[in-house]
Each structure stands twice: as structure tokens, then as C-alpha cells.
Amino acid sequence: MGRLQHTEGLTDDQQELLKLVRRFVDEQILPVATELEHADEYPTEIVEAMKEMGIFGLMIPEEYGGLGESLLTYALTVEEISRGWMSVSGIINTHFIVAYMLLQHGTEEQKQKYLPRMATGEVRGAFSMSEPGCGSDVSGIKSKAVQGEDGQWTLTGQKMWLTNGGSSNLVAVLVKTDTGADSVYRNMSSFLIE
């Protein structure tokens, strides 16, 4: 039994799930991780297997087609996957950031539109915040969105470093929307770009 499965208070279901993930890491990630990393190759087969296992929908509620697991289960799963290959955890984590953002702040229409397909991994998320001139201090973001008279928003700017940038099909992009706001931290919005 792996160390993580000994985390205090885990239910039988959580222990079973972690056992499954541990076996997956041993059998399908560890044997190929070094080779793929050195070849700078995207782990397509691993991603497909994670879709099958429902990992992309681990924390998405059951009503939206996910497994409805807790944040603890999610964290332990990611820790276990990172044991095999850190880069694979990034593929899930940025997807999770977008799904979580949608759950917390999205409209019901957005949730219905994206979450069931995010749970299966058909829609895969990325979060785009960093820019050539700004990293951790997002108040420095220069990209902006301006709404035209026809109601359409136009986004301009330059983004970089987004994990899953080349493989995701739903990108949450953080940009400035209100240059008149009273704080540099209160004038930004995330746009969902397909």
C-alpha cells in the first residue's frame, strides 16, 4: 500500500481510487516518463488513459457528469501522479483551475455547456495569465478586452507560458476590462475562449 493511502480519515472509496491511480502510475507513467520527457513528447496515451479513468472529472460534481470527489481526493491523486511524472500533473491541474473557476463563478448556462465535456476530457482547459512583462504579480497585466458598440468584446495583447496551451480547447484568459477601477486588482476579468 502506498504512503498516501495511509492519510488519516480516508474512506474505503478514496483508498480504492488511490490504489487504482497508484497502479496506473506504476504501469503506465513510470515506464515511459523519462523517455518522453527527454524526447519532449506529449504524453497522448497517458492523457487518453486518464480520460478513461475519469480523472479530468474527478472534482466535477456528479450532476455535471463528474465523479464529484473532494479536494482532498484530488490533491492526493495529483500527488500520486506527480510521483510518476510531474509534467502530467500540470495537464490535470490547469484543467482543474478552469473547471473550478466555472463552478465557482460561471453561469448555469456556462456550467451546462462546458462541465459535462470537461468531465470526460473532451474539453480540456488552460489558464492564461502570464505575459512577457508579468508573472506572479498579475496587476501588471497589459492585455485588455474592450467592448464595442455592438456588444462584442475584442481582446488584444500577448500571453505566454500557459500549460496545455498547445493541447487545450478552452482557455480562460485573464485581461484588464476596467481601466477606471479604484484598484489594479479589481479591474480584471477572465474570458473563456474556445
Ligand X SMILES: Cc1cc2nc3c(=O)[nH]c(=O)nc-3n(C[C@H](O)[C@H](O)[C@H](O)COP(=O)(O)OP(=O)(O)OC[C@H]3O[C@@H](n4cnc5c(N)ncnc54)[C@H](O)[C@@H]3O)c2cc1C
Minimum CB distance to ligand X smaller for 30 or for 184: 184
Tell me the β-bridge partners of 147. Answer: 153
Q: How far is the CB of 131 from ligand X (least distance, A)?
A: 8
Please state, in angstroms and rounded to a whole number, the distance separating the CA atoms of residues 67 and 156. Answer: 37
Minimum CB distance to ligand X smaller for 22 or for 95: 95
The pattern of x and - marking residues 92 through 131 that bind ligand X according to CB under 6 A reads: --x--------------------------------xxxx-
User: Which contacts (CB < 8 Å, 24+ apart) does range 83-90 have?
Assistant: 83/25, 84/25, 84/26, 84/29, 84/30, 84/33, 85/29, 85/30, 85/33, 85/36, 85/37, 85/43, 85/46, 87/37, 87/43, 88/29, 88/33, 88/43, 88/46, 88/50, 90/163, 90/164
Q: Pick the binder of ligand X from 132, 135, 142, 193 (CB under 6 A).
A: 135
Q: How far is the CB of 95 from ligand X (least distance, A)?
A: 10
Q: Per rule CB under 6 A, is residue 137 in the interface with ligand X?
A: yes
- For residues 50-69, which are near ligand X according to CB under 6 A? none
Q: How far is the CB of 31 from ligand X (least distance, A)?
A: 23
**Cα–Cα separations (whole angstroms), residue 73 to 111, 118, 144:** 22, 18, 36
Total of chain residues touching ligand X, rule CB under 6 A: 12
Please state, in angstroms and rounded to a whole number, the distance separating the CA atoms of residues 171 and 168. Answer: 7
Shortest-Cβ-distance residue relative to ligand X = 135
Stretch that binds ligand X, among 20-28, 108-116, 149-157, 160-168 (CB under 6 A): 160-168
Q: Per rule CB under 6 A, is residue 14 in the interface with ligand X?
A: no
Given a contact cutoff of 8 angstroms between Cβ atoms, the answer to whether 124 and 169 are in contact is: yes
Q: Tell me which residues touch ligand X (CB under 6 A).
A: 90, 94, 127-130, 135-137, 161-163
